Amino acid sequence: MYQPSSDDFPWLADEPDYAYFDTAATCLVPTCVRHAVDRYLLDTHANAHRGSYARSREATQQLEQGRQTLAKWFQIQPDQLAFSASTTQALNDLAQAVPIAWQAGDEILLSIAEHHANLLPWQRLAQRFDLKLRFIELTPEGDLATPELLLTERTRVVAVSAASNVTGAVFELAPLLRAARQRGVVSIVDAAQLAPHQPQKLGLLDADAVVCSAHKFYGVTGLGLLLLAPRFADQLSPFRVGGGIVTKVTREHAEYLSDVHRFEAGTPNTLAVIAAATATEWLDRNADLSHYLDTQRAELSHLLTHREWLQVLPAGPMQTPTLSLVSSSVHAHDLAAYLDSQRIEARAGHHCAQPLLQYLGHSGVVRIALGAYTTPRHLERLVSVLDEAYELFS
Ligand code: PMP
């Protein structure tokens, strides 16, 4: 059975009471990732895919080796994996690049649970082309409510998240994606929250594009990943243009690469790719981490029961190890501030999902996102410090 270890996360030995519960935003990295980054900076840091000298060749080799490792983790082919700066950038790029001749009144289907990263790019497009955004609502249990029924003759894009960054609900997207495919509707999945927990599911989703961020699966910031179905990638032009994606440039014209590198203009973030690949190898070595986190989430839900003043937002039948708390008597920011004063780090607010919070009728929630370093002791402390906060503020 997986157990958090101070070999991976040294502060567990130095400060066992310190608890970090913002893993759904950005993970803390295990020692092997830090070491891989350090080695890269010392020995290999250089511009990949540019120079013919040894250091650049080595950087190129590590970048492409990283692509292979990451593709294997998602169970896709390396030429289906493009690097970006973040999920946000990938979604913005896709919204601009979808090969659709928009007509006023065309529809984009989203869910009400979208992170702003998967809402605002479509909202802007809708304003520009006079499109209609439709929203899949949630069942009282926190699952998506019959999404396929909202596909209409006018739907051109379905862009939905695979798991909520607020409630932790994992959404069953297969029927929706199948229906979209049958109708020739472009489908894009924001898997930022699912990737850390069920990476192999990303490759299996019958979507045109699936995106996620490495800093949410124990890599570092600055790397988004786009999993592109070849049938869809073939129709896409480069999102942005510049160095590294051309075969020939004259004063007036450019010929672009035909493979996945054409989506990666500019110097690639080799450091973040190495960190992400190292993180996936670490995750593979700790395959029972998922099970551990499931049990810790269940334990936390259990510890939190029987408090009238505190509720866990419903998250449907399948969940990531993230949950959100809402209190009728203590403000979310007060709870988070008190937790922080006790070395428990959790985030309060709308979590970049304001329409979801409006829909649920809350102004802010405290999100508790468990990670590979969460110990049973952290959960017990969390609950007792929440109780102290209630005594103090209510
Ligand atoms: N979508 C979801 C579901 C997320 O949780 C996040 C990160 N909070 C994003 C998109 C944006 O990811 P990034 O900040 O890495 O671009």
CATH code for the domain of 102: 3.40.640.10
Domain carrying residue 237: 34-284
Report yes or no on 336 lying in a domain: yes
Gap between the Cα atoms of 3 and 297, Å rounded:
14
Least confident residue range of 136-150, 281-295, 338-352: 136-150
CA of 217 to the centre of ligand 1 (A): 12
Q: Which atom of ligand 1 is nearest to the CA of 90?
A: 16
The conformation of residue 170, written as its DSSP 8-state character, comes to B
Q: Which atom of ligand 1 is nearest to the CA of 163?
A: 3
Residue of 122, 165, 202 to mutate, ligand 1, most atoms within 8 A of C-beta: 165
Give the pLDDT score at 371.
Answer: 98
pLDDT one-digit tens code per residue, 236-259: 999 999 999 999 999 999 999 999
Whether 168 and 93 share a structural domain: yes
Gap between the Cα atoms of 46 and 41, Å rounded:
9
Strands 107-111 and 132-136: parallel
Nearest-10 crossing angle of helices 54-74, 270-285: 40
Domain-terminating residue out of 284, 300, 326: 284
Give the pLDDT score at 149.
Answer: 80
Give the pLDDT score at 280.
Answer: 98
Q: Which residue has the tokens 């790397």?
A: 223
State the average pLDDT over residues 138-160.
Answer: 93
State the average pLDDT over residues 89-105.
Answer: 98
Least confident residue range of 46-60, 112-126, 208-222, 373-387: 46-60
Ligand 1 pocket, residue 87 CB under 6 Å: yes
**Is pLDDT of 79 > 90?**
yes
Work out the number of other CB atoms within 10 angstroms of the CB of residue 52.
Answer: 7
Looking at the 3D structure of the chain, how many domains does it have?
2
Give the pLDDT score at 381.
Answer: 98
CATH code for the domain of 15: 3.90.1150.10
**Is pLDDT of 262 > 90?**
yes
**Is pLDDT of 64 > 80?**
yes
Confidence of residue 81 (pLDDT cuts 50, 70, 90): very high
Gap between the Cα atoms of 26 and 284, Å rounded:
19
Give the pLDDT score at 278.
Answer: 98
Residue of 23, 87, 119, 202 to mutate, ligand 1, most atoms within 8 A of C-beta: 87
The conformation of residue 162, written as its DSSP 8-state character, comes to S
Whether 252 and 220 share a structural domain: yes
Are the C-beta atoms of residues 227 and 81 closer than 8 Å to each other?
A: yes
Give the pLDDT score at 148.
Answer: 78
Give the pLDDT score at 393.
Answer: 92
Give the pLDDT score at 203.
Answer: 87
Ligand 1 pocket, residue 62 CB under 6 Å: no
Q: Which atom of ligand 1 is nearest to the CA of 86?
A: 16
Gap between the Cα atoms of 172 and 177, Å rounded:
10
Whether 201 and 250 share a structural domain: yes
Give the pLDDT score at 96.
Answer: 97
Give the pLDDT score at 93.
Answer: 98
Whether 191 and 318 share a structural domain: no
Whether 137 and 223 share a structural domain: yes
**Is pLDDT of 147 > 90?**
no
Whether 239 and 135 share a structural domain: yes
- DSSP states of 196-253 as a string? TT-HHHHHHS--SEEEEEGGGTTS-SS-EEEEE-HHHHTTPPPSS--TTSEEEE-SS-
Whether 277 and 292 share a structural domain: no
Strands 209-213 and 224-228: antiparallel
Give the pLDDT score at 55.
Answer: 94
Give the pLDDT score at 51.
Answer: 84
Confidence of residue 75 (pLDDT cuts 50, 70, 90): very high
Whether 226 and 145 share a structural domain: yes
pLDDT one-digit tens code per residue, 6-18: 999 999 999 999 9
Gap between the Cα atoms of 343 and 332, Å rounded:
17
- Please name which of 242, 237, 281, 204 lies closest in space to residue 93, comparing C-alpha atoms: 237
The conformation of residue 257, written as its DSSP 8-state character, comes to -
How high does pLDDT run on average in the chain?
A: 96
CA of 26 to the centre of ligand 1 (A): 9
Confidence of residue 62 (pLDDT cuts 50, 70, 90): very high
Say what the pTM is: 0.97
With vertex at residue 88, the alpha carbon angle to CA 87 and CA 90, rounded to the nearest 5 degrees, is: 65
**Is pLDDT of 316 > 80?**
yes
Residue of 215, 323, 352 to mutate, ligand 1, most atoms within 8 A of C-beta: 352
Whether 297 and 333 share a structural domain: yes
